[in-house]
A and B are shown apart, each in its own frame.
Chain A
Amino acid sequence: MINQKDKEILLEVKDMVKYFPIRAGVFKRVVAHVKAVDGVNFNVFKGETFGLVGESGCGKTTAGMTLMRLYDATAGKASFKGHGDLLQLKGTALRNMRKDIQMIFQDPYSSLNPRMRVKNIIAEGMLTHNLAKGSEVNDKVADLMQKVGLSTDHMYRFPHEFSGGQRQRIGIARALAVNPDMIVCDEAVSALDVSIQAQVINLLNDIQEEFGLTYIFIAHDLAVVKHISDRIAVMYLGKIVEMTDKHSLFDNPLHPYTKALISAIPIPDPTYDKKRVILEGDVPSPINPPSGCRFHTRCPIAQDICSKEDPVFEEKKDGHFVACHFVE
């Protein structure tokens, strides 16, 4: 995490949409869509950590996968420095882009091929993109393993011989092996124990400066996101409801959902006095999101207009964006 933000924009996402078709009937006709990501706009600056946070069904993981082109976007544009519109790339151009944006996955137990040795897991990307040859490969792999805190003695072991935290480190080394500019961390620490989470979070912070990385950090744990991010975007049912730097978000949240989210998180201090905003009801289905502002069904300050008009996502203060009709 660096304090002085390089205002250079690395990624510019405009109106990105991802719908999943639901098919039914004998001829598998499309009867509805899961509107997982429904028009998101954000920029990621070089060298920063951009946190994307929300609860289940908000679309944050889908957004990450769409940017990685593991899903194909339904609409929208994502300009990545030097590659043009990410979402439209094909063939060789797409393959080349893959060197520059990598991903760290959530499940340490399914993100590594159980039948491949660690060395080959880490080296595979390097070899595919011809970044190293012959004996260089071993040296580079050893170097990466050391950087992520693994012993090079274990180079020829299989994933099942490692703990969850170590497997995540292998995943990090795998991503680093192709020298990416940006890494999307998709719930990278969510499946780890608390004490191991801390280790991996510290590691991600340490290597960021050394490797000049930009992170998109996707998570549902607001405290973790707050710790590691520079700027944060809060998502709800496929849209971004608030986006700003982390201090402003926690000192002065503007959107009622952000306020509820922050107050819902239990603080490890029994004497902490907190005004709780408890939201009623469940998260609506992304197949049939509520009309107007999607949050109006659970919003403590909802008015008539909220069920009719979708609020515009716009900059209310310097760098602080909100989508709400009633921002003070």
Chain B
Amino acid sequence: MNKDKRPLLEVKDLTTYFHTEDGLVKAVDGISYEVFPGETLGIVGESGCGKSVNALSIMRLLESNADVGGSISFEGQSLPELSERKMRGIRGNDIAMIFQEPMTALNPVFTVGNQIEEAIILHQNKSQDEAHKMAIDMLRKVGIPEPTKRVDEYPHELSGGMRQRAMIAMALSCNPRVLIADEPTTALDVTIQAQILELMKSLQDEYGMSIIMITHDLGVIAEVADRVVVMYAGKVVEYADAVTLFKNPKHPYTWGLLNAIPRLDIEQDTLYNIPGVVPDPLHFPEGCKFNTRCTFCEERCKKEEPELIEVEKNHYARCFFIEKVEKEKAKTKAGENL
């Protein structure tokens, strides 16, 4: 891993709490990770785990009822301490974001070209004409056919895949150092998803940017991520490089997830069943947040919350009983599955 290079983005003990009329919602409750130059960090978890809120917290795009704590440091600068003006200079310029639903992320009353030009004019001080040319170039680069025609079209005139490409063009127009992609392909068909992931990979090679890929799809993570953060109930439960995570998961949740998904490459008899449901963020259980669903849960888990500890080199897990997962894995290896 890149322990010798300095991280581009460093998140330490990030917390994001929402004050709602029903109580305090701890959407993100103390997460830490690093993003190094040129790599892809995957953040994976199911709905409600806090992965998207975490991205919005970095970009400072949350509303005033959100309480963001902890440190977010980009190229040495502390983001939460920047003035709004300085932050705007970073958004879209140094750190860009793309979202899940291209139809709602693109403004329906402006042409695609306009929206790309807006970012260019704002951050790079170019004239309208220059920006227009650059927008066409960007559209061509992201693989949109007939870019000179498309640049003047409105979002609803493009297909879902095209819109997502347009959004990528918008995000990359100012050559950001970090691209945050929040479920960018979830709403797309599988063949279009493949196109978009290929595109992102080739653009990453060309621009040398880092990508934070946020998704619930473990397949996508395996495709693109170098290192992975697994989130559950607002916390990081496992953190390792991709190969290690998939081949040698330590946390019961990660292990459970990997066994719960139907696989094209493996024969499965029954899918592993993670019992129960994700807990209500207003009523998190005492102790380990996963204890209500964990097959290896013991008394200690119900009272104490485990820390995130380094269980092997550069592999972190938040669990008291990872050896139980090891035993289970050995059992199934002896059987037919993983």
Contacts and interface: CB of A to CB of B under 8 A. Distances in A.
In their complex, do chains A and B touch, with some C-beta pair under 8 Å? yes
Interface of A: 55-56, 163, 165-166, 193-199, 201-202, 205, 220-224, 226-228, 250, 260-272, 276, 278-279, 281-283
B215 to A, nearest CB: 10
A261 B193 CA distance: 11
A166 B192 CA distance: 31
B258 A268 contact: yes
B270 interface: yes
A198 B278 contact: no
B222 A195 contact: no
A154 to B, nearest CB: 14
Given A195-B46, A270-B223, 14 more contacts: A193-B46, A195-B257, A195-B274, A196-B277, A198-B274, A199-B274, A260-B191, A264-B194, A267-B219, A267-B263, A267-B264, A268-B218, A270-B225, A279-B194
B222 A278 contact: no
A247 to B, nearest CB: 10
A244 to B, nearest CB: 16
Interface of B: 46-47, 145, 159, 161-162, 189-195, 197-198, 216-223, 225, 242-243, 246-247, 256-258, 260-265, 268, 270-275, 277-278, 293
Nearest to A224: B262
B304 to A, nearest CB: 24
A223 B271 CA distance: 12
Contacts, number: 127
A227 B268 CA distance: 7
Nearest to A260: B191
Contacts of A271: 243, 246-247
15 contacts: A55-B192, A194-B46, A198-B260, A198-B271, A223-B264, A226-B264, A227-B262, A227-B268, A227-B271, A264-B191, A266-B219, A272-B222, A278-B195, A279-B191, A283-B189
B260 to A, nearest CB: 4
Contacts of A276: 194, 198
B71 to A, nearest CB: 30
Contact of A223 (B194, B216, B220, B263): B263
A270 B197 contact: no
- Which of B216, B263, B272, B293 is packed against the most chain A CB atoms within 10 Å? B263
B246 A199 contact: no
A307 B76 CA distance: 58
A264 B217 CA distance: 14
B261 A268 contact: yes
A266 B197 contact: yes
Contacts of A227: 262-263, 268, 271
Contacts of B257: 194-195
Contacts of A269: 222, 246, 265
A196 B277 CA distance: 7
A223 B197 contact: no
A265 B264 contact: yes
A279 B274 contact: no
B162 A282 contact: yes
A68 to B, nearest CB: 24
A227 B260 CA distance: 11
- Which of B145, B216, B242, B270 is packed against the most chain A CB atoms within 10 Å? B270
Contact of B261 (A163, A198, A222): A198
Contacts of A202: 270-271, 273
Contacts of B273: 198-199, 202
A44 to B, nearest CB: 21
